Amino acid sequence: MGNRSYRCIVVGAGSAVGSRLCRLLARRDHQVLGVEHPEALTPLEQRRLALATEAGTRVEARDFSEAGSLEAELPGADFVFLAARPRPGDWGWKGLWRSVLLPTRHLFDSLEHLGVRPRRVVVFSSTTVAGSRPGAVVTEDDAPSPRTLLARALMLQEHLVRRRGQALEAPYTILRPGHLVGPDPGLPLALLVHRAWPPLVPLPTGNPVQVPLAHLDDLCEAALHLAKYPGLANRTFFLTDGERHDAASLLRQAAGVRKGATVDLPILSPRMIGDLFRVVGWMDQRLREALRREAMPLVDPDLPEALSADLTVSTSALQEAGFQTTRGSAAYLLESLKGFEETFGAWG
């Protein structure tokens, strides 16, 4: 972004992406307002918000599912980043509508009402909107085929951004990252190192399932890179590290961090693998409810789809836009899991 200081609004500053992005922007001397819902009070979200504040972000509690919640800040804003993710209790369609779709709709309503246009609205989506395409390389031009409620909500969010952005002539960027790994504890694969779990981790065997990975810092850097240039507006980009990662290998690494035994299960399809992890997620939720462990990080509802997608996506559009990933995601997976174990291990 050169030496100029930009005014940035990050909606969902308590999410893994939002917090990391706030810190990156603030450390580059941009003016950053990080907005998070007042109910985002879990220890993990509080920790992320504290880190963003320490880096120089102004953090405010706003119910961004309410109309007009950002109108006081939008005039003069250069970039608006939509990084909100579902909160506890928002896994159903009604909750996803409130936490993902309403903030997006209200943002564009406010832009229309105020008659202002930021330089860019950046939306963080997910590769899971592409669904499962065994043996095929998926591009941004392929029709989405989401299988989970969260992926469907993100697909509708993308549709809303394209329709309203083009109608209002408000430039936008949509980024579809792979399964995120990196230095932020509590990312989805941390599910596999909960100490509350039995010391056996089931692993799929048979047909290999490819999982797209993306490093959190690469995602934030790509968002800044794409926001700078007018010629890159109104486009959708996949972002992964460009490598093929086998789901069973990733799970073995996670089990190794946890020092637990592994059990191979002959699972024949990505859908069956996804079903297994949906059951795992359900068991985790019931366990935490029973033990009233409200402080434990929640399982990302996109995890089952990410670990069963058998998906290879093309990142050629991002490369043509002049951005190259710099971090090998698999190398950071172990770091991510160890960080979770060290920070939150005593809770689980």
pLDDT single digits (tens) 129-188: 998 877 789 999 999 999 888 899 999 999 999 999 999 999 999 999 988 877 664 444
At residue 245, does pLDDT exceed 90? no
Given this model, what pLDDT does residue 292 score? 45
Burial letters 56-70, b for 16+ CB under 10 A, else e:
bbebeebebbeeebb
Instruction: For residue 1, name the pLDDT band (cuts at 50, 70, 90).
Output: very low
Sequence ranges of the domains in the chain? 7-182+212-243+314-327, 188-210+244-311+332-342
Q: How many Å apart are CA 9 and CA 18, to the nearest integer?
A: 10
Q: Bridge-partner residues for 9, per DSSP?
A: 33, 80
Q: How many Å apart are CA 201 and CA 181, to the nearest integer?
A: 20
Residue with the larger pLDDT of the pair 320 and 204: 320
At residue 201, does pLDDT exceed 70? no
Q: How many Å apart are CA 107 and CA 95, to the nearest integer?
A: 18
Given this model, what pLDDT does residue 316 score? 94
Given this model, what pLDDT does residue 117 score? 96
Q: Please name the residues in contact with 114: beta carbons below 8 A apart, sequence gap of 6 or more.
A: 71, 74, 75
The verdict on domain 7-182+212-243+314-327 having CATH code 3.50.50.60 is no
3 state SS of 265: strand
Q: What percent of the chain has pLDDT over 70?
A: 68
At residue 42, does pLDDT exceed 90? no
DSSP state of 230: G
Q: Phi-psi region for residue 76, left (φ > 0), alpha (ψ -120 to 50) or beta?
A: left
Exposed/middle/buried for residue 275 (C-beta within 10 Å: 0-12, 13-18, 19+)? middle
162 residue type, one letter: R
Q: pLDDT tens, 271-324?
A: 666 666 666 555 555 555 544 444 444 455 566 677 677 888 999 999 999 998
**What rounded mean pLDDT belongs to the chain?**
80
